[in-house]
Chain A
């Protein structure tokens, strides 16, 4: 499977600031997704990162709060804007490597965000 890295691995931020999380894959992938996992909870899909076009957001998530970029087939960023303590969570990217084995998703190591 693809090797997926995320930067930063963790960060502590002040409320009102923004943080950009990077997701890098070592090979071209068809689909990239961003998830949030709040402490002790399940994973919730934030959005699908579309290459060369605007991301597709799930209900409850908006572009102004979570702008996403995907400039190519190996890289995506998620920004958490105007942060509040409620944004403290683990943010994970996932990738689907091939439409031939569709839907198999592999996760990055996650970014642990704490907002004070």
Chain B
């Protein structure tokens, strides 16, 4: 089955700096890669996703890149703000819809 590894487990950044979270996956059949943000006590929220026919996708301050050959994808947050502090999860899925999640990255943005 699919295995998703996520790094780093914690990330501290100064407000205004960029944050990068990296994930690798094992199943070459995976074709959908979402990112979720989970604030303390809240449900995971889908913030951006990318499909295997696209190499990069951007939405305001967040962007995701995908390298299918290397089987890795990354989340980039620019101009970080305190409200970006949360746990971020990457995931991978094939057409059947089952999401395999990474272990999560605790992001702390300090003013």
Which residues of A are in contact with B by a Cβ distance under 8 Å? Answer: 31, 33, 41-45, 48, 58-59, 92, 94, 96, 102-110
The answer on a CB contact under 8 Å between A105 and B46 is yes
Number of residues from B at the complex interface, CB < 8 A: 21
**Chain A residue at minimum C-beta to C-beta distance from B33:** A103
Q: Per a CB cutoff under 8 Å, which of B34, B43, B45, B46 touches A92?
A: B43
Q: Within the complex, what minimum Cβ distance (angstroms) separates A44 from chain B? A: 8
Q: Does B73 contact A (CB under 8 A)?
A: no
Tell me, in angstroms, the Cα distance from A109 to B39 when the chains sit together: 12
Query: Which residues on B sit within 8 Å (CB–CB) of A33?
Result: 97-99
Instruction: List chain A residues, Cβ under 8 A from B95.
Output: 102-103
Extra 15 A-B pairs, beta carbons < 8 Å, given A45-B100, A103-B32: A42-B102, A42-B103, A42-B104, A44-B101, A45-B98, A48-B97, A59-B1, A92-B44, A102-B32, A103-B97, A104-B46, A105-B34, A105-B97, A107-B36, A109-B42
B65 to chain A, nearest CB (A): 18
A2 to chain B, nearest CB (A): 12
Please indicate the chain A residues that have their CB under 8 angstroms from the CB of B85 in the complex. none
Instruction: Please tell me if B24 contacts chain A, counting CB pairs below 8 Å.
Output: no
Please name all residues of chain A whose beta carbon is closer than 8 Å to the beta carbon of B99 when the two chains form the complex: 33, 43, 45, 94, 103, 105
Any chain A CB within 8 A of the CB of B89? Answer: yes
